[in-house]
């Protein structure tokens, strides 16, 4: 397998698509298939290729694709399909990847007669990059002969450098993107593109022709084009390669967090595990108590390296969000359904029920640099005194006590 470094994960995707157009020339149709709740940057970047954009619904329980065989049967004969499978919230579980890979292999055998082929891009953008994860991929290279793995180090990722993506490819990727960019310009460009996309009328347009017009205007913007159609300059690529080499060789290094604090990579791993464990221990008991009162609080993470600590609720989530925000506890609710912003082909229309239902119930609790303060870092690995964590738990307990009393009435 070959390793490449790109400005961000979306650039890695576009590089893959442009190369696949040349590697697999004999297919009449080329599709890229995203989960309906993917970050908008992936489908937007793919529009610079000849691949047609499509989306699938997720399984509400696993957050992985809902019925892979049905998804693939949707595509016409003579089709190359790049299936994007997101590792949900960075909860990397090798066993699940192996099970899904085995299922795709079986599907590929059954659709060969229709001249259809499924390749996989494993979206690892929210996964904490570790020696164990990379070695799992490289050690199973015989199994992943047609699989891509894409990591991200940009804004709000687990190892947040503000720039950069690691692409592990089973193919030689000879087609390069048109421009070059250095690490200092990437965060500024990402912010510009985010404002351009979210400032457009794409969220409100229902008319197909108008939607196409808006998307074309976005794609023709010079900042958007530069953002997605760039390769890293050599010094930045070498810098990322040096970082990944240190991870593979168990060599520690220092990271500057977005709040200005410095922390070592090993300490960051330890920090993440401790915070997630602390959330888990405190909320498991609360969840049991709430469930007895018919208030459902679900802890959906299976991995202490989860990107955020994620919970789902069975009531109006926004009431709890307002209470958290009012008390200075800022959380997120990623990812909303973006599929219909990009779908212009009616054969791929869907309600994406599970993706929508999940988004309406999920809360992503911060477990990264945003929970760190000076008092927190001074305790030498006893990560239990963060003001953010304590406020979050207090608000949760107070809120649900009110909910329990209301329910009993």
Q: pLDDT tens track of the chain, all 409 residues? A: 999 999 999 999 999 999 999 999 989 999 999 999 999 999 999 999 999 999 999 999 999 999 999 999 989 999 999 999 999 999 999 999 999 999 999 999 999 999 999 999 999 999 999 999 999 999 999 999 999 999 999 988 999 999 999 999 999 999 999 999 999 999 999 999 999 998 888 887 777 888 889 999 999 999 999 999 999 999 999 999 999 999 999 999 998 887 777 889 998 888 888 888 888 888 888 888 888 888 888 998 778 888 999 999 988 889 999 999 999 888 988 878 888 888 766 556 677 999 999 999 999 998 887 776 655 554 555 545 677 888 888 998 888 876 655 555 4
Same domain, yes or no, for 267 and 242? no
Domain boundary among 192, 213, 248: 248
DSSP state of 68: H
Q: Are residues 220 and 291 in the same domain?
A: no
Contacts of 35 (CB under 8 A, 6+ apart): 55, 56, 57, 58, 65, 84, 85, 86, 355
Q: Which residue has the tokens 């510009």?
A: 192
Assess if residue 181 is contained within a domain: yes
Residue 365 resides in a domain: yes
Q: Are residues 86 and 22 in the same domain?
A: yes
- Domain containing 62: what range? 2-248
307 with 401, same domain: the answer is yes
Is 329 found in the same domain as 188? Answer: no
Q: Where are the alpha helices (DSSP H) in 221-372?
A: 222-228, 234-248, 265-291, 317-326, 339-342, 353-361
Q: Point out the domain boundary residue: 223, 248, 273.
A: 248
Distance CA(80)–CA(353), nearest Å, equals 26
Q: Is the pTM of this model over 0.75?
A: yes
């Amino acid at each position: 397998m070959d390793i490449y470094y790109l400005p961000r994960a979306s650039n890695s995707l576009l590089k893959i698509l442009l190369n696949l157009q040349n590697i697999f020339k004999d297919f009449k149709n080329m599709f890229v298939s995203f989960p309906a709740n993917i970050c908008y940057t992936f489908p937007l970047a793919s529009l610079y290729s000849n691949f047609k954009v499509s989306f699938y619904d997720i399984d509400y329980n696993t957050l992985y694709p809902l019925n892979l065989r049905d998804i693939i049967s949707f595509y016409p004969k003579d089709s190359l399909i790049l299936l994007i499978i997101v590792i949900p919230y960075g909860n990397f579980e090798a066993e699940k990847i192996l099970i899904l890979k085995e299922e795709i292999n079986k599907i590929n055998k059954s659709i060969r007669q229709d001249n259809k082929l499924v390749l996989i891009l494993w979206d690892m953008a929210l996964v904490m990059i570790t020696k164990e994860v990379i070695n799992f991929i490289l050690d199973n290279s015989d199994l992943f002969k047609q699989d891509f793995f894409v990591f991200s180090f940009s804004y709000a990722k687990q190892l947040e450098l503000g720039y950069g993506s690691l692409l592990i490819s089973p193919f030689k990727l000879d087609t390069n993107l048109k421009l070059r960019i250095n690490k200092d310009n990437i965060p500024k460009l990402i912010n510009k593109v985010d404002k351009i996309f979210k400032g457009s009328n794409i969220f409100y347009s229902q008319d197909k022709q108008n939607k196409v017009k808006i998307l074309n205007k976005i794609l023709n913007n010079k900042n958007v084009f530069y953002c997605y159609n760039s390769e890293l300059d050599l010094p930045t690529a070498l810098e990322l390669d040096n970082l990944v080499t240190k991870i593979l060789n168990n060599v520690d290094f220092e990271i500057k967090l977005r709040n200005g604090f410095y922390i070592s990579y090993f300490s960051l791993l330890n920090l993440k595990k401790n915070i997630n464990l602390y959330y888990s221990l405190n909320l498991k008991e609360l969840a049991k108590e709430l469930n007895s009162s018919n208030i459902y609080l679900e802890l959906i993470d299976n991995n202490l390296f989860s990107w955020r600590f994620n919970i789902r609720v069975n009531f109006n989530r926004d009431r709890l969000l307002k209470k958290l925000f009012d008390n200075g506890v800022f959380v997120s609710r990623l990812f909303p359904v973006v599929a219909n912003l990009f779908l212009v082909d009616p054969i791929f229309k869907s309600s994406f029920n599970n993706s929508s239902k999940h988004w309406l119930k999920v809360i992503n609790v911060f477990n990264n640099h945003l929970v760190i303060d000076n008092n927190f870092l001074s305790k030498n690995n006893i990560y239990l005194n963060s003001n953010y964590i304590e406020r979050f738990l207090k608000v949760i307990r107070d809120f649900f006590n009110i909910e329990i009393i209301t329910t009993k009435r």
